[in-house]
Every structure is written in C-alpha cells, then in structure tokens.
Amino acid sequence: MVEVSSGSDPRLTMLRALMNDAAVPYGFVELDPFGERHGSWQRTLHVSANSLDRYLMVAFTTLEDHDEISVIAGAEERTAPNTGAQPKFKRFDIGTIRLDDTDPEQWPRSELRDLFLQAATMALAIQFVQLEKRELLAS
C-alpha cells in the first residue's frame, strides 16, 4: 500500500471529514490533528462533558497489503494543573477496519461514519465510576 507522507493525504482528508460529520454535532473539536505517531497517523477529537474530558481517537496505519483504521473512545477525569496527580481514565477499542483499496472514494464511508458515531456516543456515555487509575510499568 502507499505510505502516507503528509496530513493532507486524501485518505486522511476523507477520515477527517467523516470524523467531523459524526462527532462535531456532539460538541467534539479537534485536539490533535493527524500526525505520525508510533508508525501510524493519529488524530484526536475532544469534548468536556459532565466533569470528564472525552476523546475520540483514530489511527490510520499503512501495512504491506492493506490499510487499517482503528477507533478508540475514551474519557479521563480532570485534575488541577501542576498537582502531579494522575487522572483516572477509561478507553474502549471501538473497532478496526481493514481497507484493501487506497482510493478513499471506494471505502465503506457509511460504515466508517457509523463507527465514528459509535465512538463519539460511547465516549459521552462513559461514567466516572468506570474510570481506573493508570498503572505505570517500570521499564
């Protein structure tokens, strides 16, 4: 498959539009634009609601014979800045879709939009009691 070389790649442009279409009506705004991180191109949308910061994250990965889109919904508690407190959080893997076509016009756009919509509603549905402390592992 063809590697992504910039945030203006047509595949990322299509994902950006589908994410916005699904999540902006719920108040989500871009927190981090598409950028290369850990071998994939990732973007994060954010909204604050009911005392939690809520996220919709997508990772676009180009593999040898196909592309993959992974979608995650999450939430974390807000903590006061400079306190050193680790906020509690929760993340859900909403799904991963394999794409065999590099032309985004051939992608299952309706299904992708529905996946982003599911992630947005899941992020908004996370309750404070579901949050967990971060476990930092020694390396």
CATH number of the domain that 98 lies in? 3.90.1150
Rounded CA separation 89/91 (Å): 7
User: pTM of the predicted model, to two decimals?
Assistant: 0.88
Helix (H) or strand (E) holding 96: strand 89-99
105-136 confidence digits (pLDDT tens): 888 999 999 999 999 999 999 999 999 987 65
44-89 confidence digits (pLDDT tens): 999 999 989 999 999 999 998 889 999 999 999 987 677 777 889 9
**Would residue 137 count as lying in a domain?**
no
**Would residue 5 count as lying in a domain?**
no
Q: In what order do the strands lie in the sheet with 89-99?
A: 29-37, 40-49, 52-62, 67-77, 89-99
Rounded CA separation 135/42 (Å): 23
Encoded tokens for 130: 């579901």
**Would residue 1 count as lying in a domain?**
no
**Would residue 117 count as lying in a domain?**
yes
Range of the domain at 75: 10-130
**Would residue 61 count as lying in a domain?**
yes
Quote the number of domains for the chain.
Answer: 1
